[in-house]
Structure 1
Amino acid sequence: MASVPIVASALKTRLLVAAIDFGTTFSGYAYSFLSDFKTDPLKIHTQNWTTGSHSAHGMSLKTSTCVLFNEKREFHSFGFEAEDVYTALAVEDQHHEWYYFKQFKMYLYQNKDLRRETVLYDDKGNTMPAIEVFAAGIGYLKDKVIESISKRQTEITPNDIHWVLTVPAIWDDSAKQFMREAAVYAGIDTNHLSLALEPEAASLFCKYLPVEKIIGVDGAPKIASFAPGKKYLVLDAGGGTVDITVHETQEDGTVREIYKANGGPWGGVTIDEAFLKLLDDIAGRDTMEVFMNEYKEDHLSLVRDFELKKKTFGPELGDSKIQFRMPINIHVAYSVVNGQDFRQSFMMNQDLKGDVTFTGDKLRVKPKQVLDLFQTTCVEIINHLKDILSKPEVAGVEAILMVGGFSESNMLQHYVKSSFPNLFVIIPEEAGLAVLKGAVIFGHNPNAIISRRCKLTYGVKMYRTFEPGVHPPSKKVMRGGEAKCQGCFDVHVTTNEEVVLGQIFETHSYCPIVASAKAVGVKIYTSTKAKPLYVDEPECTFLGEIDVDLSHIRDNFKDKKILVHMKYGGTELGVEAKVVKTGEILKTTLNCLG
């Protein structure tokens, strides 16, 4: 799918911008009216969510990313409601024919062969098309926005709304296209939709915050970090991924990216996984499997409790053991699996004796074991930050801006501050909402990010005239009576190259191989190398194909020469082709999903 260019002038006529942050662990929405944005860009409406009937913790700024479908695969509920309904069904042993999906966004990052037909597996191994699951969640949040707007008795119509969907900056083009198509499947007009890169959105939000809302870890205001000419690194630590970009503020208040977006799968869920691994070590994997499957209500409560508690853990845990609630049904599950009492058996475990104890229904562990839950993930993040900050392109960076839900973790904040004592470490008051609110600001002002860095090299597969001694003999083929080298990588844009918003790269020309061709398929490849020679090199990946219709051009094949240029600088790749002889702009579709 070719990207749809959205320009600021078109947005001026839209009366409202609504953003959907579809996260790995939590999701939410926000919106603002154009009239409010002009007077106060931070007047953004968000939703407070009730955490569910099985939790006593009240309200949350986002809801859980869970989707529930009934036995007929019809959408039933989303978020905390889906968790509670499914748990209630499980208590009555009526959940087996239902479809329950949770924390599935990471699949788009991990799957390097994404297709429209890709399926997701629920907690019982049942499958549904991934695009239907994503679309159900997006559609639910879209409907909640419209419902919220209607309660304000405004006269806003769907055509007045511009939608913004957040995506990690480290995602590839196929994942971005998948999310756009899922949003369209959910009923959002593609012409009224933009994708916002998550760390960019957070950066825009923080630029608007007053001094008292931008506080360094040492307690001192750091608003000067966003003054013109300042360079700062954005660390967007979410549930699934950590997204990192480096920005420089310009004199006119716009932002340019000075180092390509990067990151990895080091989000907050890795801490949850480490905690569950600790419980596996204590009770046994088989016991925890029974507990999770047979006592879903207790398991949900356990996970929710830890989600809240993990943000409070810091480096100074003292000498006293840390306490967690241990549902009694873990003991029951242990007895079912092992045929003996859990507490007595545990007391005989020499590997854990002294490190882990029980008091009533409370599990108590030594502080070191809590620190160990965070160590692997935090060290990965710090090592990656050190690598980036060693690059000559980012010399002069003065601050690290921490946003995203995982950035609210005291432990992660400690690791970052202690590892970079010479940099300001900034955590906005609403770190978990920075991306969501920033996406609304981006929707009103998409030209605020004036340049970006290409993550990859982009090019086209083509034939070149075969040159003995230059091209490998294995790639020599005869086409039209001429010796050609097949599979050459024709570079259009190079990795880490700075691209100004809307910039059109040098146009490249291509001809069909045969005179009778009624169409030409331009195959686009990416590479992590700056100057790949052939598309079959290990660093190269097929991205997608542009199908150009030439059936209405009846001249010889040389008159069917086409010009192809790429437009990169927005959040999505744009491609355009035209016929050289006529100057006609041809309909093109870049399909990254097979």
Structure 2
Amino acid sequence: MASKDFFLVAAIDFGTTFSGYAFSEVTEFQADPLRVSTCTWGSSTNSVMSLKTPSSILFRPEKTFDSFGFEAEDKYSNLSLDNMHRSWYYFRRFKMMLYNSKDVHRSNLLKDETGKEMSAIDVFAASIRYMKDHLGDFLSRRSTQIRDNEIRWVLTVPAIWDDAAKQFMREAAEKAGIDGKALLLALEPEAASMCCKYLPVERTETRIECFSPGSKYLVLDAGGGTVDITVHEVNPDGTLKELHKANGGPWGGTTVDEAFLDFLSEILGADVLEAFRDRHRDDYIDLLREFETRKRAVKPDSDSRVTFKMPISLHELYREKKKAEIRDAVRDHPKYGGKITCAGDKMRVEADLVKDMFSKTCADIVQHVRKLLLNPVTKGTSTLLMVGGFSESPMLQDAIKKGFPDKKVVVPPDAGLTVLKGAVIFGHNSEMIVSRIAKYTYGMKCFRSFNSAIHPPERMQIINGRKEVPGCFDKLVEVGKLVSPDKPVGPKTYFPFENHSGFTIKLFASPKTDPSFVDEEGSIPIGEVDVDCRDDKGSVTSADVYLIFGGTELELKAVHSDTGRETKAKFDFLG
């Protein structure tokens, strides 16, 4: 879709903890790239107002969509009060499935909060469809008349995801009713980088210094589930090139939530906490909501106790199971005695205990960034750009600043919206990122003539009277090398087998720089694509194959030898 073919760019940031959308018209972008509109979300049960809504979704017992976000949380809580929730399907923070799964397929199932299963792609598609339809209603209320074919859609994905997870999200979006030809995938730290490029600093017209030509900066995108990191250098023309392959890990804000639950489990017992989650789902959701609010206010210099409201149902459940009171358990606890007090439904916790809930996560992030900055290719990186919802935490900000006192640490306003707004900018100008670093060594599966000097004899086979070695790794791109969507890799000429009209390219990836065989340890099959070699008259010929690396999605281009006809195809990474 060329820029003249769309009137508006709409981006969906589908996060582990929270999701949202934003948009801008072409004329708005041309006047001011930061003029991006967002939606305000709210809960009907309390006064919570947010620019994002929880990534929670509710399906009816027959597996049809019911609600998303705050509405899903509130309704599921009400169902729990009436003990009617067990036949419904409720999913929260399910995006991590695509990070944790090493084998992503269209047939993957997701378990809901009570262990019932649904098709994962149906859950993701329903979530994206909700955001898409919500935007349509929002535009209608603004009396903005825009047809579906005038919208370019952008969907954010973590840069550390593999190709199968990216394709899964694309197919989920298409299943949600978004035209694949109008859809772009934006890597989250890159989107954030593009947004920050336009941000003024301290309300002046001076742009962030790290975006001057020749500058190197690290983008730390700390979200709910993962921390996504990339390092960029600014080219003389203002475009960006990646210096180090995207990396990161599962150190998002939800790990602090898990530390809080572990803390409660130590005090109350795992059996009590599990029963509380199962039998009082409404209060359990409220408890997590309150902690989400409390943890954002925790500061490294805090010395006053933090107050948590403990639901009455939790006190009653503890009394039923332990034949004792929570206040007594707190008072007599060998580890926490004297550091926690209980009064009524309030639990007051010493500041240091709450700060400790951040310590492991922050330490893991600092250690990873430190290791990354020791790499020779990142030498000269002067600025650490912190974006994502978890980057708004004073605890994480303090850990990064203390861990890297020689670096300038920049946290833009509304860091949690930086990726979302940047995704809109990316939709208007996706050519800003001109090159990336290959995450793996990519190659095709091929046959080679047997060479006793390099091939193990047990791999040799006699094929059509010739000594051949199947399963060899035909390297195309080496891990760590610069790749660009403007410079396809190739060509390599392939011929179909006898009596075939085309051939199948099977692509493999390896963490090694020079793998010999596709079945070596660490090598993984990542996708395949069929290439048709027939010309306009049905005659079969060869094709020159190019691989297009460097974009957010891997593509293939085949040029037919006789006709010069060009075909493009994307790999099927889901199998």
**Normalising TM by the smaller chain, what interval?**
over 0.9
Equivalent residue number for residue 115 of structure 1: 105
Alignment counterpart, residue 143 of structure 1, candidates 126, 133, 150? 133
Give yes or no for contact 1:447–1:501 (8 Å, CA) kept in 2: no
Q: CA deviation digits over 1:28-70, x for unaligned, max 9?
A: 00000111111111111101111x23334x3111000011111
Q: Counterpart in 2 of 1:54?
A: 45
SS of 1:212 mapped into structure 2:
coil
Cα contact 2:555–2:569 (8 A) shared by 1: no
Q: Does 1:466 align with 2:486?
A: no
For the 8 Å contact 2:268–2:329, the answer to whether it is kept is: no
1:357 alignment partner, SS class: strand
Task: Identify the match of residue 172 of structure 1 among 156, 162, 175.
Answer: 162
Q: Distance in 2 between matches of 1:392 and 1:363?
A: 49
Q: What residue is the counterpart of 1:218 in the other structure?
A: none
Distance 1:310 1:461 in 2: 50
Displaced runs of 4+ in structure 1, greater than 6 A?
Answer: 551-556
Q: Distance in 1 between matches of 2:434 and 2:216?
A: 15
Residue of structure 2 equivalent to 1:240: 225
Separation in 2 of the partners of 1:554 and 1:12?
A: 36
Q: Counterparts in 2 of 1:368-383, with a 5 A limit?
A: 368-383=352-367
The 5-angstrom pairing of residues 212-361 of structure 1 reads 212=202, 223-318=208-303, 320-361=304-345
For 1:485 and 1:553, the matched residues in 2 are separated by 35
Deviation at 1:564, TM superposition (A): 2.0
Larger relative contact order, structure 1 or 2 (CA cutoff 8 Å, min sep 6): 1
| Structure 1 residues 147-193: Cα deviation after superposition (integer angstroms, max 9, x where no partner) | 11122222311111000000001110000000000000000000110
| CA contact 1:214–1:223 (8 Å) conserved in 2 | no
Matched, 1:131 2:121: yes
Contact map agreement 1:324 1:363 (CA 8 A) in 2: yes
Stretch of structure 1 that moved more, 304-313 or 380-389:
304-313
Q: CA deviation at 1:502?
A: 2.7
Give, in angstroms, the shift of residue 223 of structure 1. Answer: 1.9
Q: Distance in 2 between matches of 1:149 and 1:544?
A: 39
**Aligned amino acid, residue 391 of structure 1:** N
Q: 2: CA distance between counterparts of 1:279 and 1:458? A: 46
Alignment of 1:174-573 (within 5 A): 174-212=164-202, 223-318=208-303, 320-512=304-496, 514-550=497-533, 560-573=541-554
**Letter matched to residue 182 of structure 1:** A
SS across alignment from 1:147: helix
SS of the residue corresponding to residue 489 of structure 2 reads coil
In 2, are the aligned partners of 1:549 and 1:587 still within 8 Å (CA)? no
SS, match of residue 105 in structure 1: helix
Per the alignment, in what secondary structure is the counterpart of residue 507 of structure 1?
A: strand
Q: In 2, Cα distance between the equivalents of 1:555 and 1:212?
A: 65
Counterpart AA for 1:191: K
Q: State, as a whole percentage, how many aligned pairs show the same letter.
A: 47
Shift of 1:531: 1.4
Structure 1 stretch 364-373 or stretch 228-237: which is displaced more?
364-373
Gaps (5+ residues) in structure 1? 1-5, 216-220
Question: Are 1:40 and 2:32 matched, yes or no?
Answer: yes
Q: Distance in 2 between matches of 1:39 and 1:30?
A: 17
Q: Distance in 1 between matches of 2:565 and 2:207?
A: 53
TM-score by length of structure 2 reads 0.96
Deviations 1:370-426 (A, max 9, x none): 222111111111111011111111111110000000000000000000011111000
CA 1:570–1:589 in 2, change beyond 3 Å: closer, same or farther? closer
CA positional deviation for 1:593 = 0.4
Q: Confirm whether residue 97 of structure 1 aligns to residue 97 of structure 2.
A: no
Provide the rounded CA distance (Å) in 1 between the counterparts of 2:563 and 2:544.
Answer: 11
Question: How far is the alpha carbon of 1:519 from its aligned partner?
Answer: 4.2
Residues 562 and 501 (structure 1 numbering): CA distance in 2 closer, same or farther, change over 3 Å? closer
Count of matched residue pairs: 575
TM-superposed CA distance for 1:314, in Å, is 1.9
1:330: Cα distance to partner?
Answer: 1.4
Taking the aligned partners of 1:173 and 1:587, their CA distance within structure 2 comes to 17
- Cα deviations by residue, 1:411-444 (Å, 9 ceiling, x for unpaired): 0000000011111000001100000000000000
Q: CA 1:213/1:328 → structure 2, altered by over 3 Å: closer, same or farther?
A: farther
State the TM-score, normalized to the length of structure 1.
Answer: 0.93
Distance 2:491 2:192 in 1: 34
Q: Is the 8 A contact 1:206 1:214 kept in 2?
A: no
- Give the secondary-structure state (helix, strand or coil) at the position aligned to 2:154: strand
Per-residue deviation, residues 98-139 of structure 1 (Å, max 9, x unmatched): 111100001001111111111100011111111110010100
Counterparts of 2:174 and 2:203, CA distance in 1: 36
1:507, 1:342 → 2: CA distance?
70
Q: Report the CA distance shift for 1:214/1:192 in structure 2 as closer, same or farther (over 3 A).
A: farther
The verdict on how the C-alpha distance between 1:517 and 1:481 changes in structure 2, with shifts beyond 3 A counting, is farther
- Tell me the C-alpha RMSD between the 2 structures: 2.0
1:364 positional shift: 2.3
Tell me the amino acid that sits aligned with residue 49 of structure 1: W
Deviation at 1:457, TM superposition (A): 1.4
Q: Which runs of 5+ in 2 are unaligned?
A: none
* More displaced 10-residue stretch of structure 1: 143-152 or 402-411: 143-152
SS of the counterpart of 1:593?
coil
The 1:170–1:362 alpha-carbon spacing in structure 2 relative to 1, beyond 3 Å, is same
Partners of 2:245 and 2:480 within 8 A in 1:
yes
Query: Residue 3 of structure 1 aligns with which residue?
Result: none
Distance 1:555 1:473 in 2: 41
8 Å contact kept, 1:454–1:499: yes
